[in-house]
Structure 1
Amino acid sequence: MATTIHDRAQGALLGAFIGDALGLGPHWYYDLAELRADYGEWIDDYTDPKPGRYHDGLKAGQLSQSGYILTMLIRSLNDCGGYDESDFCKRLDQELFPHLNGMPMSGPGGYTSQSIREIWRQRTIDGRGWQDTGSNADTTEAIERTLAIGIRYATRPSELAAAIASNTVLTQTDDTVVSMTVAFGAVLGMLVQGHPFDAALSTKLMNLVKKGDLPFHAVTSDNLQPPKQGASDPPRAGRFASPDALLTPSYMAAAAIDPGIRIEPAWKVSIVYGMPCAIYHQLPAAYYLAARFHDDFEAAVLHAVNGGGQNQARAILTGSLVGAQVGLSHIPKRFIQGIENHSELLELARQLAGEIPSTQ
């Protein structure tokens, strides 16, 4: 499947938007029987949210607040020629917060997440500066926007890591959440570059740690082997205590091709790794689907959505990872054309992809 870095970058962005829109209707059904009763045995397209559900009032093909914020960050990256935190924060203050009231069922997209409600309160009620915001939310909300940074800095891992970490702590300050968010961005950047999602991917990421390009402590001397007699501790590359967040993707890739490990149908990955919102449920499932369906965008995102629970986040992450592998040119046109304002989103993606540095 021949693709270019620009095609893969655009595929990663549109894949995220498609995952967001696919999850809008059937979002947060933890009772799978109820999900099937409302949407049938297999969801294969955009759907309207049911009355009284999380995105009630929106229509099939529209974006949630996650997509809204992702669009804001892409515009900031494009307008500023890179990551400018003050510009992005100004956009939150001026373009998002005036539409919120601190309640869950409010604002663009019909639902406002925990971490965004918290920083809205900190900024508008408490009057805190941006250097003092953030919460302990253990979700993927930062990944859902910083994936744009991962794409923009795909060829510059050290800049990618610094920008994603800085943006993440605006809303989520738990160090484990930050490390897993940075790791996702690093994985996405590798896929945009053209590396396969396979069992060797984590070794490539660990090589970046050893070069000082990713801020993770190496823990062991080489490929998780014990240190040699008399050897000193490996040098600490940066702020994160261990490299485990960088190792998860290759374990999931190995599981996806192991004939002794079968998750059938694949949507049941949500049951294996858990349906809830927490990042440690979401990432293994998204990595597994992205590795298993590395060349089949439709299968990947539809299995992500049909698994229920926090299927919108699962589909955003999966869609971005697989979109980066197949490229925009191999995403089914019906998914692209079915999103509201898809021409505008395509242009934003084109602009962002055009700014990726060609060399590190």
Structure 2
Amino acid sequence: MAAFTADALALGAHWVYDIAQIKDKYGRLDFMASPEIAPFHKGKKKGDFTHYGDQMFLLLESLSYCSGFDFDNFSTQWKAMFEDYSGWVDGATKETLANLEAGKSPQEAGSGSTDLGGASRMVPLALFYGEDRETFMANAETQTAMTHNHPQVIQSARFFASAAIETAEGRKPLDALEMAQKELSSNSPIYQMITDGLESVDKETTQAIAGFGQMCETQAALPGTIHLIAKYPNDLKTAMVENVMAGGDSSARGILCGFILGICNGMNAVPEQWIKEMRLADRIRSLAGITK
């Protein structure tokens, strides 16, 4: 639920890189807003998801329908969604669809995009595989590679799946991140990105994320996400708001940050007003078995 609300909160300023514009329009964006200054999401309404959140919801539906991860079902439903999609279709999606149209199988059609958003979509897998580390990480990799077949993004999905399990087993978020990093080789394409994020914890968030880069690519978004988790381990709301105020691809960062902080802080940490204003909240509750 934290991951979904993070995406919905990001919608109002998603891909707005001028943080002064966000402040001028909203002050402190700690509420759901329609994408008035986020032109890529024209037509979306307050409480809707970005295209990342829509794909994450599709994965949740597929998992529920199949009682687990079924690649054929998910890939078929994903392709069908984008045949008549009213939201933004990003470069990774266009490339994947073109590869499918050219005759490639879903297993080999993934784009070469390095955008972290492909990994962030995997969050609902935790509902079915949160106690099965290897299966969780393997399925996280598979769903990511379907559209983002790049080592940086695939390893990021595996890393966050591992960190989520470490968190669910009772480790503090910082410890969980460090434990998951230890599973990587030092020459992993994301190892230094994680270190950079961890070492930025004393910086102000907008400064840290500006330094890494506000953009979608893993080399920017991954250390920015690590910064948020490490800096606000006990304050999910502040982490989500500071993420949005930092501009750029606040959706991918927010989803993964919300995922980890949601695990350790629980449902009470997710502002009830955010959930109330999220348009698919009741459907998510039903699919995920959330009783609150």
Tell me the TM-score normalised to structure 1 length: 0.74
Which stretch of structure 1 is more off in the superposition, 302-311 or 84-93?
84-93
1:3 is matched with none
Aligned partners of 2:5 and 2:274 also within 8 Å:
yes
Q: Greater helix percent: which structure?
A: 2
Task: Find the partner of 2:131 among 113, 137, 155.
Answer: 155
Aligned partners of 1:286 and 1:317 also within 8 Å:
yes
Secondary structure in 2 matching 1:54: helix
**AA aligned opposite 1:61:** G
User: How far apart are the structure 2 equivalents of 1:350 and 1:284?
Assistant: 32
2:275 is matched with 336
Offset from partner CA, 1:49-70 (integer Å, 9 cap, x none): 1277111122111112211111
2:178 is matched with 202
Q: Which has the higher contact order (CA 8 A, sep 6+)?
A: 1
Task: Find the partner of 2:67 among 70, 81, 98.
Answer: 81
2:152 is matched with 176
Instruction: Report the alpha carbon displacement of residue 81 of structure 1 after superposing the two structures with TM.
Output: 2.1
Residue 252 and residue 309 in structure 1: after superposition, are their counterparts in 2 closer, same or farther (change >3 A)?
Answer: closer
What are the ranges of 5 or more consecutive residues in structure 1 without an aligned counterpart?
1-13, 100-106, 210-215, 220-241, 257-261, 354-360
Task: Find the partner of 2:13 among 26, 29, 33.
Answer: 26
User: How far apart are the structure 2 equivalents of 1:82 and 1:201?
Assistant: 26
Instruction: Report the alpha carbon displacement of residue 21 of structure 1 after superposing the two structures with TM.
Output: 0.7
Amino-acid identity (%) = 23
2:248 is matched with 309
Q: Does 1:134 align with 2:115?
A: no
Offset from partner CA, 1:173-210 (integer Å, 9 cap, x none): 2223211221122112222333211246424663xx4x
Residue 59 and residue 120 in structure 1: after superposition, are their counterparts in 2 closer, same or farther (change >3 A)?
Answer: same
Instruction: Report the alpha carbon displacement of residue 98 of structure 1 after superposing the two structures with TM.
Output: 2.0
Alignment: residue pair count: 291
**AA aligned opposite 1:315:** G
Tell me the TM-score normalised to structure 2 length: 0.90
Matches within 5 A, 1:98-113: 98-99=83-84, 107-108=85-86, 110-113=87-90
User: How far apart are the structure 2 equivalents of 1:56 and 1:201?
Assistant: 36
Q: Does 1:188 align with 2:161?
A: no
User: How far apart are the structure 1 equivalents of 2:12 and 2:219?
Assistant: 24
Aligned partners of 1:143 and 1:185 also within 8 Å:
no
Instruction: Report the alpha carbon displacement of residue 308 of structure 1 after superposing the two structures with TM.
Output: 0.8
Q: Does 1:117 align with 2:94?
A: yes
Residue 304 and residue 47 in structure 1: after superposition, are their counterparts in 2 closer, same or farther (change >3 A)?
Answer: same
Aligned partners of 1:154 and 1:193 also within 8 Å:
no
What are the ranges of 5 or more consecutive residues in structure 2 without an aligned counterpart?
none
Aligned partners of 2:9 and 2:31 also within 8 Å:
yes
Task: Find the partner of 2:51 among 61, 65, 70.
Answer: 65
Q: Does 1:97 align with 2:82?
A: yes
2:203 is matched with 263
Q: What RMSD over aligned residues (CA atoms) do the two structures have, in Å?
A: 2.4
User: How far apart are the structure 1 equivalents of 2:223 and 2:181?
Assistant: 17
Instruction: Report the alpha carbon displacement of residue 97 of structure 1 after superposing the two structures with TM.
Output: 2.7
User: How far apart are the structure 1 equivalents of 2:176 and 2:268?
Assistant: 26
Secondary structure in 2 matching 1:17: helix
Residue 205 and residue 310 in structure 1: after superposition, are their counterparts in 2 closer, same or farther (change >3 A)?
Answer: closer
Offset from partner CA, 1:275-308 (integer Å, 9 cap, x none): 1111121111111111221111110100000001
Instruction: Report the alpha carbon displacement of residue 122 of structure 1 after superposing the two structures with TM.
Output: 2.0
Bigger-Rg structure (1/2) = 1
Q: Does 1:288 align with 2:274?
A: no
**AA aligned opposite 2:223:** P
